[in-house]
Structures are given as C-alpha cells and as structure tokens.
Amino acid sequence: MKVLFLGTPEFAVGTLNALMRSAHTVVGVVTQPDRAVKHGKTEMGAVKKVALEAGLPVFQPRRIRDEVERLKEFGADIAVTAAYGQILTDAVLNAFERGVINVHASLLPKYRGASPIQAAIANGETKTGVTIMRTELGIDTGDILAVAETEIGARETAGELTARLSQIGAKLLVETLDGFYKITPVKQDDSIATHCKMISKSEQYIDFTADSNSVVNKIRALSPSPCAKTVIGGETYKIYEAVEVDGSGTAGTVICSDGKLVVACGKGAIQVLTIQAPSKRALGAAEFLRGRKLEVGVVCAKP
C-alpha cells in the first residue's frame, strides 16, 4: 500500500525505517514544525531528519486540521501515525481510503493518552507492549488490529523501554499492513480503560512520603527525561537512577552519605545511584559525594 507517515520524536523513527524497508511505499512524511530553541534557532525532530536523509517529501503543518486537501495530494491509501503530536479531525481521518492507524505504546485499553510508557513503569507494571489500532476521534479508543506484549525489566527506565517498544512497534506495524485485509478488528473494552496525561512539572518532583518501591518506579519512569527531581537546600537536583534498600527515618531525610547516598521514604529507603546538581553533569553518587558533602539529616523535598 501507499503510506503517508505521521510522526515526530525518536520513538517514531523505528516505524518509519521499517516502513521504508517494507514492501509498502512511503509517499511522504508529516511531522510537527521545528521546535524553537535558544537564540532564535530551531531544532528539527528525529523523524524529519530521517525523512530528509531518505529523500522523502516532508510536510510540517502547524494545524493539520486545516490541511486536508494537501494531505489528499500525497495519494496515500492509508496513513500511519506514531507519536505525531496533533489531534486528527474527522476530515483528516476520512482523507485516506483505508483510514488511519496508530502505533500506541501500551496494551490498550490500558494507558490511553500521552504518557503510556511512563505510566506503566510508575505504576509498577511488569509487562506492557504495543497496540496497532484504528484511529478515531476519541483518544486511543479505536478498534485494535494487532498487539505485541513484552516484559518490563525490573530496573528498566522509560528511555530504555521506549527504545525497545519502538522496534517492537515497527515490526508489528509492517506485519499489520502486510496482512491488513485479513484482520478482524477488535473493539476495546471502555470499562477497563485508563488515561494518562502529559507529565506536568509538579509531577516530576519525588514524594518521599510514598513507599520506596513507588519512589524507585517514579525515578525509572522519568529517566532520562524529564527526570525525577528533588529540592535540597533550595536547589533542584535530578535523580536518574535509584534502588530500594533497607533503612528507615523521616521521609525525605538523608540517612547515609558516607560513600552511599541513602534517603528515607514513607516506608523503606532508596539508594541514589546517579544524581545531577544544578548546572553540573550527572554523576554516580560516590563521585557526587566526594565533591558535595550532604550531611545525614538533610532533607530532600518538593518545591
């Protein structure tokens, strides 16, 4: 089939590459406008870089809902989305003979929405996967076409899991297109659906009154970006990696800083393995403590 691909970040690159290697034809790529960065410069997304290197036509509408006729000009039979970043209207969905299908990084109907990978890790899930679904007006509510499951590693971060799911989703998407006309869509059970929103800045801060398992899961879910944060002495620190350890004390207080950085939680404690001070690079805790002494009793808190 002739495919129009819609995607923006690194997660979508695997699917685009797989499509270009498949028997299907990528007629063009639609991606978000370049992102503004410092000093008036802009930065293109990962998908755009790959598309330009491959010589594919690239279209970057600010409002895709206003560009239905332009989308039709690509002559695609079907559109495939993977972390594109804009809501598609009914007119956009109807612009393609075979409709629009999406690569979603969860086992639908659980974890619909913008942050399914982070939500699965933060909630302590031991498995997740990718769902290929028909796109409709609701958020991730369309019929399921294919599913692939995978285990979540006990210490796997969101960054690591995203990379794996990108490859799993890419393979599953091509298999779905290859067998498209033989697939019987399955309706989702809305009664067991959950929704996860974009992660707000306030949600990035660690609540040390939670148990140690929940705290470690949150750190994994936000690593490497936007990263879990805590405030120590009025300054914001990023914590990239931690493990559960035995220990107790007032939640949020440092209970060991002698070569190891251990912080008490509401139940249990965590040992911080990788931490970053403001305007500094991320360091292993032992190296960090050699340069910045934290006394036992120092409090790690929210703003």
The reported pLDDT for the residue numbered 206 is 98
Per-residue pLDDT reduced to its tens digit, 156-179:
999 999 999 999 999 999 999 999
d(CA 161, CA 95): 33
CATH T-level topology, domain 2-196: Rossmann fold (3.40.50)
CATH architecture of 202-291: Roll (3.10)
Segments of the chain assigned to CATH 3.40.50.170 = 2-196
Question: pLDDT at position 256, please?
Answer: 97
- Give the model's pLDDT for residue 274: 98
Question: 243 near 271, Cβ under 8 Å?
Answer: yes
Cα 99 to Cα 136: distance, rounded to the nearest angstrom: 9
CA pair distance 62, 115, nearest whole angstrom: 22
pLDDT digits (tens, 9 = 90+) for 231-282: 999 999 999 999 999 999 999 999 999 999 999 999 999 999 999 999 999 9
Q: Residues of CATH 3.10.25.10 domain(s) within the chain?
A: 202-291
Question: What integer pLDDT is reported at residue 187 of this predicted model?
Answer: 98
DSSP state of 190: G
How high is the pLDDT of residue 293? 85
pTM of the full predicted structure?
A: 0.95
Q: Report pLDDT for 275.
A: 98
Label residues 265-284 b or e (16+ Cβ within 10 Å = b): beebbbbbbbbbbeeeeebe
The reported pLDDT for the residue numbered 8 is 97
pLDDT at residue 37, as a whole number: 83
DSSP code of 204? G
Residues of the chain with pLDDT under 70: none
